[in-house]
Structure 1
């Protein structure tokens, strides 16, 4: 019979609330997880009864805690691959929206981005429409977005450092642009980065993309390709994303984690992080 653990995370978790959650989950042990390593508090409650999770989720929602129920504790050393989305996942911004801001059309482009992220319109169609609106912009605007606006998601560096120490391979795959993924790959020491390429002629964006477009299926396919190349089991793969374009990728991983995601993604992902940083992923593993 599988042994389950309940992971509770938050910025300030009261002891009496932990005890109540243990009671609700049928757990007899409460253990601090990675104290001092995370930017927040995390606790493991075990053994947890997965049949009693409705009350646990309701309590955590009211208290503002994150909760995840995982079977059979897996050591971090067993993880072999991390696959991540870029925009609003590894970094805090949507690059295309910030590029559009350089043209004074951020609201128009951001509205299309939001609809695509919620799964209301086809990603390929939405990306083509948005990129077309960027025609004529000087390529130097991309560098300004990278240097002035791009920031890593809280906890991202902690997560990557911990995984890279274990020899975990890292794939950054994005429906965004190689201008940003290539720089992040070099900066963060990532194994591989895949994204779309903006066409530039005479130093200006043409409003078109070059080559094959990276979409939801591409993300899932690349995850499977690299997993098989590395000879990994499915439960040795973590995938993290936030939009509808990431759902197939999340489903293809043993640990598909929605990060600060849209409602559609939160309801379909196996695990969610809604308030803590990306370092919260580390709490899932022994």
Structure 2
């Protein structure tokens, strides 16, 4: 068992102290701010102590089988909003309508698992009725930014031959553009209905909720001829848990507590490229 410690900055004294808590046999630098503590012990008590120390030092930690490598995986599946990108697109669209607080409140409740996703989506999209469709392009141009480390992570996994899937409870307007911009292999998301240049307040077709996200990962894996255990799945909200649950490695990125608690990996401080030292 290895313990990977990483941060945006690191204090070697803190690394040494945390490694000692886990009775590491040796510490191997991966890069300037990531370290592999090899031959560690893992128990609930040790994990709790490591968790507290890492939080204080603003470090991410992962206990992981030392034999696991990036080559073991064939697919990386990602949520979009607040995972691959920094924003919740629907909240920013709503801001164009002066309704961001109302919509954001529903979004947060849904991501925490307090409201069923289909209901939350219908309620939020209904509030957008009548908004000029040009607002979507404004959100893309003015507000959409990739999450920290996203491009570095994608470059590395694509170079290693892994396929990529962007599966989102958001909208095709944005996932289509992300696919073209980043060279992604597969995307699946909701379709906003537009009539006469304005949003109708409805989505059309299959709703991409938690069950559909899971089914999409299964479909893409079947198409690629691989097991879902050969997929790395990244997300931040409760509607990502089902697809994360069938993966070989689940990654909670800047995630809600309910998601962090169930994921194999939680990245709270480093970027999306923080997955790479885990499998080096």
Shorter chain as denominator, the TM-score bin is over 0.9
**Structure 1 position 49 matched with structure 2 position 41:** yes
The structural deviation recorded for 1:83 is 0.3
Comparing 58-67 and 71-80, the one that deviates more: 71-80
For the residue of structure 1 that corresponds to 2:83, the secondary structure is helix
Counterpart in the other structure of 2:4: 7
Counterpart in the other structure of 1:250: 244
Inter-partner Cα distance in structure 2 for 1:135 and 1:64? 42
The runs of 4+ residues in structure 1 deviating greater than 4 Å are: none
Change (3 A) 1:197 1:115: same
For the residue of structure 2 that corresponds to 1:135, the secondary structure is coil
Inter-partner Cα distance in structure 1 for 2:188 and 2:228? 21
Counterpart in the other structure of 2:230: 236
Inter-partner Cα distance in structure 1 for 2:82 and 2:8? 21
8 Å Cα contact 1:5/1:73 also seen in 2: no
Inter-partner Cα distance in structure 2 for 1:255 and 1:174? 19
**Structure 1 position 196 matched with structure 2 position 198:** no
The structural deviation recorded for 1:23 is 1.4
Counterpart in the other structure of 2:147: 153
**Residue deviations 1:139-169, cap 9 Å, x none?**
1110000011000001000000000001110
**Structure 1 position 30 matched with structure 2 position 22:** no
Counterpart in the other structure of 2:52: 58
Inter-partner Cα distance in structure 2 for 1:189 and 1:170? 9
For the residue of structure 2 that corresponds to 1:50, the secondary structure is coil
Inter-partner Cα distance in structure 2 for 1:104 and 1:165? 43
Structural mapping, 1:27-106, within 5 Å: 27-33=24-30, 35=31, 41-51=33-43, 52-106=46-100
Match for residue 179 of structure 1 among 173, 184, 198: 173
Q: Please give the root-mean-square deviation of Cα atoms over the aligned residues, in Å.
A: 1.2
**Residue deviations 1:156-201, cap 9 Å, x none?**
0000000000111000000000000000000000001100000011
Count of matched residue positions in the alignment of Structure 1 and Structure 2:
278
Inter-partner Cα distance in structure 1 for 2:9 and 2:111? 31
The structural deviation recorded for 1:234 is 4.1
Inter-partner Cα distance in structure 2 for 1:14 and 1:140? 47
8 Å Cα contact 2:217/2:228 also seen in 1: no
The structural deviation recorded for 1:263 is 1.3
Match for residue 20 of structure 1 among 17, 26, 31: 17
8 Å Cα contact 1:8/1:44 also seen in 2: yes
Inter-partner Cα distance in structure 2 for 1:274 and 1:265? 12
For the residue of structure 1 that corresponds to 2:223, the secondary structure is helix
Structure 1 unmatched runs, 5+: none
**Structure 1 position 211 matched with structure 2 position 205:** yes
Inter-partner Cα distance in structure 1 for 2:36 and 2:229? 20
Inter-partner Cα distance in structure 1 for 2:135 and 2:12? 50
TM-score normalized by structure 1?
Answer: 0.94
TM-score normalized by structure 2?
Answer: 0.96
Structure 2 unmatched runs, 5+: none
